Structure 1
Amino acid sequence: MQKCFRVLYLDYGNRCTVDSASLRPLPPELASLPACALRMSLANVCPNKGNKWDEAAIALFVDLTGFKLSLVAEKKGHRRTRFEDVMEVTLWNRNGPVPINITAVLVEKAFAVLKKVSLGM
C-alpha cells in the first residue's frame, strides 16, 4: 500500500493528495525561489450553507473571476492557520466600465452571508 501525501502546487497555490509514486524532488534552482502564490480568503463573508461553498457558488465565483482576468485583491486583514498565513481580501473585477465587488455579488445572490464581527471591549 502506497502512502499518500498532501502537496501544495507552487504555481497556482492549489492542493492535492497524491500517492508517493507521483512525488518528484524539487530541483534546487526552484527550491531557492520565493513562493509565487498567496493563500487568500474573501474577507467578512462565509458560505450561506454550512462551512463549504456549494457547486453553484463556486460556478458563480469562477464566472465572475475567470482564469484569464486581472483582478484586484484589496487586503482587509490576515489570519494564521496551522500551516500558513491567509490574507483576507475584498476581490474586485475592474476590467469593465463599472468595478465589480465579487464579495457583494455573492452576498446579493444569497451564496454568502456577512460574518458577525465581535467588537473586543
Structure 2
Amino acid sequence: MLFLMNDWVMQFDQKAMVQDLIGFNVRDITFPQVLILGQELYAEEPHLHLRQPEQARKLAAFIMAKQPDVNGVLFIPPHQGCNPKDVTVRYCNVAFDMLAQLLNVQETHKSGAWANREVWNKLGRPARA
C-alpha cells in the first residue's frame, strides 16, 4: 500500500496498517478528528514523515481507515510549535501509477520535490479557513 504524506511516499502493507490501529476504537474517531490529530503532530514536528516515520505511518493508517479514498495528505505548519489550528491541511486521491512513479523517483533521487511539483502544486493554493 502506498500513501503520500507531504512530499514523501510511504510504503506499507495492510497487515501493518491493521496493527497500527489495534487498541483504538476507530469507529468512535471521525475523519475531521484524525486531521486535527495530524495538525497537532505536525505543529510539534513539521517534518514528522521524515523524523518520526512510525508516527506518520500510524497517522496514514488512521486516515485510510476513516477515508479509504484518501491516499495523499499535506500538512503545512507555519513553524515548529505553532498552534495546531494554524497547520493547513490538504488531502487527495493520487492515482496508483502516479504514487508508484513518485516512489521510484524518491528512491532514485532521495527527494520529495517531484511529489510537490506533480501533486500538490498542480492542485493550486489551499484556502485558509
In terms of fraction of residues, the more strand-rich structure is 1
Structure having the larger proportion of residues in helix: 2
Bin for the TM-score computed over the shorter chain: under 0.3
TM-score when scaled to structure 2? Answer: 0.24
TM-score normalized with structure 1 length = 0.25
